[in-house]
Amino acid sequence: MSGAGQSEGGRYAAVRAWLRPRQVSRWLGLFLVAFFLVPIVCLILADAVGGSAAPTISLIAFLVLIPGIVVGAALPLVWIGLMIFLSFRDHRAQAAVGDDRPAPAPTAIPRELAADIAELERVRAEVSAAARKRLVILLPLVAVVLLGIQFGTDDKLAWPPFILIFAIAMFGVWQLVTYGPNRHYAELFKTVTLPRLLARHGALSLARDHVPELGELVANGVLPGFTEVETDDHVHGPYRGRQLFITELRLRHENFKKKGVLFRGLVVEIAFERPLQQTIAVVMQGARAGGLPPVRLEDPLFEAVYSAFGSDQIAARALLTPMTMERMLRMSDGTGFQPPKLYAGGRRLVFVLDGANGGDEFESFEPPHLVGTDASRQVAALAGELDRIFALVDAIIDAVEVAPGIFSAGSGAGASLETPLRGSSESDS
C-alpha cells in the first residue's frame, strides 16, 4: 500500500458513500452555473458586437439556456439519477479491479463461546417459536374482529381509514407478542455473550448510564451542539495500560418547533495520566474546530473527507500517521458507521463513530431482532465490529507512543488506571 490516498478497487466503500452526495452536488452546481452563465455572456457579447452576428449569438445563448432550465426544473430527479450512476460505477470498479488486500477472513468465534452460542441459539429458537405460535392465533383473531366490526355494523368506515387502522392493529399485535421474548433474548445476549466478546480484548466491563465530558468535543466540531443527551451501554476498563471508555449515546436538539436526533453512535475515549501538550481535532470536511489552525496533510483522499486542526502542525502529523489515517478511512466499511472523527486534548484522546448510516434506531451493542437471524451470525457481526473499533484504538495508541512532543514536558505516554475521565461516575470507574 502506498498510502491512504489510494481509493481504487474495493477500498473505502463507506468513505466513497459519504463523499458521493457532495460530489453530485458539486457537479450539478457547476453544470447550472455554466448553463446560466454562458447565455448571459453570449447576450452581452451580442450586444457589444452588434451587426449580423448578434442574432446568431443570441440563438446560441437561447439553445444553451434550455438544458439549464430543464435540469433546474428536474433537479431532484437528476440528483437521484447521478447518485445511482455513481453507485453503479463504484460497484463496477470494485468488481473489475478488486481490492489489493487479501480477502478478510471471517471473524473467528472463540471456542470458549461455543457453549454460550449454543445456549443463545436454543433460547432464540425457543422464544421465536413461541412468538410465532401466538402470532398465528392472535393475528387472525384480531383480523376477524376488525372485519366483523366493519361489515357487521351500519356505520362503516371508508376503506382508506379502515385499511390504515387494520395495518396499525396488525403491527401492534406483532410488537406486543414479540417485545417480551425479544427483550429476554437481548438481555441474555448482553449479559452473557457480550462480556465474553469484550474479554477477548482485555479486562473490560459493561455498564450503563455513563455520560462522558462532551463540551470540548462540541466546541471543536467533533460533536454537534445539543440540548439533551441519552446514554445506553458503556464499556470501560484497562486496555494496553490505559483506561478505555466506549459509550453508546444519542444527542438531541429541541427548539420551539421540533426535537431532532443529531447524533447516535459511539464515543471512544483513551485516558492518559498526564496532559497532552497539543490539541488536535479531525472533523468532517467543511466543519470548523474552534479556534485551532488547520493542519495540512499530504493525503488527497483523507483531506477530501476530513479537515484536520491542531495547535501544533508537527504533533498533529505525528499523531495522524499513514496507518492511523488508513484505519480511519477504512474502519466504517461494511458497518452502519460514518467515517470516525477524532479529538486529542487534555488527558484524553477521543474518536467518535456516528451511526447515522444505520438509521434512527441504530444501536451498537444490541442483537438484531430474534426472528430471522441465527445466534452465531449475530455474535460474529458484533465480534467484527469490536475488532474494527479496537484496531483503530491500537493504531492511535501506537501513534501516540512514538509521537514526539505530544505530551507536556516531563510527561510520558503512561496512563493512570485509577484516574477516571471527567464526566464518569464512581460506579463506572
pLDDT digits (tens, 9 = 90+) for 197-218: 888 888 898 887 778 889 999 9
Q: What is the pLDDT of residue 408?
A: 53
Over the stretch 43-54, which tens digit does the pLDDT of each residue have?
676 666 666 666
Report the residue count for the chain.
429
pLDDT at 419: 38
Q: In terms of pLDDT, which residue wins out, 28 or 215? A: 215
- Higher pLDDT: 348 or 257? It is 348
Q: Are 323 and 391 in contact (CB under 8 A)?
A: no
Asked if residue 252 has pLDDT above 70, the reply is yes
Using pLDDT thresholds of 50, 70 and 90, give the confidence band for residue 231.
confident
Sheet holding 242-254, edge to edge: 205-208, 228-239, 242-254, 259-271, 348-354, 341-345, 280-284, 306-310
Contacts of range 4-9, beta carbons closer than 8 Å, 24 or more positions apart? 4/299, 4/301, 4/302, 4/322, 4/325, 4/326, 4/329, 5/299, 5/300, 5/301, 5/302, 6/301, 7/301, 8/93, 8/97, 8/100, 9/93, 9/94, 9/97, 9/98, 9/99, 9/100
pLDDT band for position 3 (cuts 50, 70, 90): very low
- What's the pTM? 0.67
What's the average model confidence in pLDDT over 63-91? 70
Task: Give the whole-angstrom CA distance, residue 212 versus residue 32.
Answer: 45
- Among residues 121, 110, 182, the alpha carbon closest in space to that of 378 is found at 121
Q: Which helix (H) or strand (E) holds 282?
A: strand 280-284
How many helices, marked H, and strands, marked E, lie in the chain? Answer: 11, 8
Torsions phi, psi for 306 (to 5 deg): -120, 155
| Predicted pLDDT at 46 | 66
Q: Say what the pLDDT of residue 2 is.
A: 36
Residue 268 confidence (pLDDT) above 70 = yes
* pLDDT confidence of residue 416: 39
- pLDDT greater than 50 at residue 329: yes
The pairing of beta strand 259-271 with beta strand 280-284 = unpaired
pLDDT tens by residue, 160-194: 888 888 889 988 888 888 888 778 777 878 888 88
Q: Mean pLDDT for the chain?
A: 75
In this structure, of 70-79, 80-89, 287-296, 359-368, the range with the lowest mean pLDDT score is 359-368
Lowest pLDDT segment from 21-25, 190-194, 232-236? 21-25
In the chain, the percentage of residues whose pLDDT exceeds 90 is 4
State residue 308's pLDDT score: 92
What pLDDT is attached to residue 346? 87
The number of beta carbons lying within 10 Å of the beta carbon of residue 350 is 27
Digit-coded pLDDT (tens) for 374-397: 777 777 777 877 888 888 788 778
pLDDT attached to residue 269: 92
Distance CA 209, CA 190 (A): 15
Lowest model confidence (mean pLDDT) among 54-58, 168-172, 322-326:
54-58
Q: What is the structure's pLDDT at 343? A: 92
